[in-house]
Amino acid sequence: MGKEILLKVGVMVIVFILFIGLSSIHGFSSQVPIEKRIDRVLVSNPQFTDSSDCSMWIDNMTVEPGESHVRCYVQGSWSFIISGFGIGLQFDPAVIEDISVFWMHPPPIAEWIIIEPGLLAIGCAWFPGNYIPPGSGLLATLHIDIFEDAESGVTILNLDNFGGDPPIDCTYVDEFSIVHYPELIDGTLFIVECADIDSNGNGPDIADLVYLVDYIFQDGPAPPIMCQADIDANGVGPDIADLVYLVDYMFQGGPPPGDCCNPPW
């Protein structure tokens, strides 16, 4: 059984390489319709120094294939009663069309959303009696609309320059109006399109196949966003299985690329 699989893979690779050579002569291009889509929005793996006081992070970015609406979750951990919090983020106005905020606790008595060029600042505060007890969990959800022409690999939100210019900060306020400064996890949210191996926003196409073959067999350059080349979404690769999967999709009507950059891959 193993020999049959290896033989099948070998034949497909040989046929594929021959096909690439013929296509360059005859000018053939893939007939697979290319539909602009945003498959996944990522944030870097949470890595920060534990704080005995408080911390805040953004994770669990989700977006459905074919959609341009991202749900971004603001979470935190605090050891005291909090009466309010605020957070600032950098974003790319050329990528983000609209941002709205939904609070996850009792309706605050005050809230603010400040959107300036490249900077988003949100915050809220509560009356006594509605304070949030010590603990951890979801604080707010950001709903972000992405422009349809946003390209693969483009940064959406940037969390890694706190203290920069303009200054970006995040805070908790306790029941005694003392301000605490959480350790916000660094990270970058960016757009991923599965099987767009060369990350030019036009894949998957012949150029992506050539790029993948060159990387696997000729020690060519690595894909700019490596997980985009994990086409079968198994967390391994890019490898022969991904190449076979892509050829099958483009020329044999096989299944579309999987959710290739779904964390933790």
CATH number listed for the domain at residues 40-192 = 2.60.40.680
Confidence class for position 42, pLDDT limits 50, 70, 90: low
Q: What is the pLDDT of residue 134?
A: 92
Residues 6+ apart with CB under 8 A from 137: 75, 76, 104
Beta-strand pair 183-184/188-192: unpaired
Cα separation, 77 vs 84, in Å, equals 13
DSSP 176-196: T--EE--EEPP-EEEEE-TT-
| Strand-pair partners of 78 | 54, 135
Long-range contacts: 133-137, Cβ < 8 Å, 24+? 133/81, 134/78, 134/79, 134/80, 134/81, 135/77, 135/78, 136/75, 136/76, 136/77, 136/78, 137/75, 137/76, 137/104
How confident is the model at residue 164, as a pLDDT? 59
Return the beta strands (E) in the chain as ranges.
40-42, 54-62, 69-78, 82-91, 96-103, 110-116, 119-125, 135-146, 155-158, 170-174, 179-180, 183-184, 188-192
CATH class of 2-30+193-252: mainly alpha
Start and end residues for every CATH 1.10.1330 domain found in the chain:
2-30+193-252
pLDDT confidence tier of residue 165, bands split at 50, 70 and 90 = low
For range 126-153, the mean pLDDT: 84
Task: Specify the pLDDT at position 36.
Answer: 46
pLDDT, residue 66, reads: 59
CB atoms within 10 A of CB 194: 28
- Residue 209 DSSP SS3: helix
Residues of the chain with CATH 2.60.40.680: 40-192
pTM score, two decimals? Answer: 0.66
Q: What percent of the chain has pLDDT over 90?
A: 7
pLDDT at 44 over 80: no
**Per-residue pLDDT tens for 81-133?**
999 998 888 888 888 888 888 888 777 888 888 877 778 888 899 888 889 99
pLDDT bracket for residue 45 (50, 70, 90): very low
